[in-house]
Structure 1
Amino acid sequence: MEKTTLSAQVSNYLLNLIDKRQLIPGMEVPSEMQLIDTLGVSRGVIREAFCSLSTLGILEISSGKRPRVDRCKPTAMETIFRNAMATQQISAQQILDVRCALEMGCAEQAAQCGSAEDFFTLQQQMKMLRHTLGDHEQFILQDSLFHLQIAKASGNPLYSLMIEALRTPLASSISAGLDARDVSPDWESIIQLHQYIVDAICDRDPAAAKLAVARHFASATQALRDAACRSDTAP
C-alpha cells in the first residue's frame, strides 16, 4: 500500500469486505488487530479509516466494541448540502425545487403503497402539526416528522434519507418564511395545505397527492420570497 493513501485504501478494503460478505446493519467488521495482521498497517491508520467510515454513516463505532455496519443515515449528505448553502453554491430555492420533485413522487407512492397503520400515523401527525399553530420551533419539528412519515408510508427508504438531508440546511430559511407569514390567516392556510396532502394520500389518490404537494411547495416558495423582500427592505 502507498503511504499517502493508506487510510483511504483501508476504507475501500472495508467497503469491499462489507459488500463481499453481504454484511447488514448490526454485523461486525474485523477488529483493529485483525486488520493490522491482514493489511500490515498501523493502528493509527486503521482508526483513521474507521473514523472516516463512521463520519459517512457506514460504520458504528463504540468504545471497547468492534465496529459494526451502521444503518443508513443522512448525516454526510446533510453536511454536504449545508456547506453548499453556506458557501453560496446552492440556494434555498434550489433545495426547495429538488424537495418538491422528490416529495411529489413520495406522496404518490405513499398513496399507492401506504398501509392503514401508515395512514393512521400520518393523521395523528397532522393533529400534532395543527397544535403547533403560532409556535415556529415546534411547527418546524412537527413538520419534519410529518414529511418523514409520508416518506415512511412510501415504503422507499431513499425518500427518508434524501428528504431529511435536504431539509436540515433549510431550517433557518423555513423559520424566516414563517416569520414573513406570521398572521393567523396565513397559518391556517399552511395547515390546510398539509391537510390536503393527508386527505389525498389516505384516499389513495396519487394524482391528488402530487398536486397537493406541488401546491404546498408553491406556498413555501412564496414564503421564502416574502422573507427575502422583508430582509431587503429592513432598515
Structure 2
Amino acid sequence: MCNLYSMTRTQDAIRAFAKALRDYAGNVPPLPGIFPDYAAPIVRTSADGVRELATARWGMPTSQFALMEATKKRAAKLEAKGQTVDFKELLRMEPDSGTTNIRNIGSKHWQRWLGVENRCLVPFTSFSEFNRDAGGDIWFALSEDRPLAFFAGIWTNWTSVRKVREGETTNDLFGFLTTEPNAEVKAIHPKAMPVILRTEAEIERWMTAPANEVPEMQRPLPDGALQVVARGTKQDG
C-alpha cells in the first residue's frame, strides 16, 4: 500500500504535461512528503469539459460497510459504559480519514466514481512503499532525476467527518488505483503498486475512455520501469 509520495515539479510542468487550461490550486510549493489526508494537487475535468489543476485531500470516502462496522464497535464500548447511544447520529459522525489506495474496482462503492467526470490525474515524482526489513520507506521513481508522472486517480466532493476536532466538513477528496506490483516494487512490497501513467497517450485514455475500459488500464508498469532512488526517509526530493 502506498501511503506516502512526493511531488516536486512545478505547476507549469503539471499543467503542460496534463494539458490543464485552468489552475485553481493556488501556489503549490514542492511537496517532498505527501501523507494521507494531506491536500495535494490533482488534474480533473470540469463540468464544461475543460481540464483544470486543483487541490484535494488524499483519501476517498470509506465504504459504508466499513464505517458501519466501526460504529458498531464504538457503540458497543459506549453501551458497556452505561451510556445511551443514538446509533444513527453516531454513524453520521463516525470519523473517516479516507481510503487512499483503490484496488477492488468491481465494488459498487467504487464503481460510482469510475466515469470520466470523477477521474483525475495525481502528479508525483516518487512514491514510497514501506518494508521494515529493507530499511523502512523505500522510494521509487521512473529514474534518478525523478521525472513527473501521474497516478490514475478518482475524486469526489464529499461531506463527512474527517477528524473529530473538525466536525462535519465538505471537501474535494481523491485516491488512486493500485494493481499487482511489477518486479521492482514486488521485491519490497509484494501485494500492490499504484497504477502509473507515463505518456500523453496513457493520460488521454485515462481521462477520456469509457468506464468499461478502466479494468484494462488497471495494470502495473513493465518490469524495469522503476528504480529505487532513496531509502529510510519520510521525504524525497
Normalised to the residue count of structure 1, the TM-score between the two structures is: 0.29
Greater fraction strand: 2
Instruction: With a CA cutoff of 8 Å and minimum separation of 6, indicate the structure with the bigger relative contact order.
Output: 2
Normalised to the residue count of structure 2, the TM-score between the two structures is: 0.28
- Which has the greater radius of gyration? 1
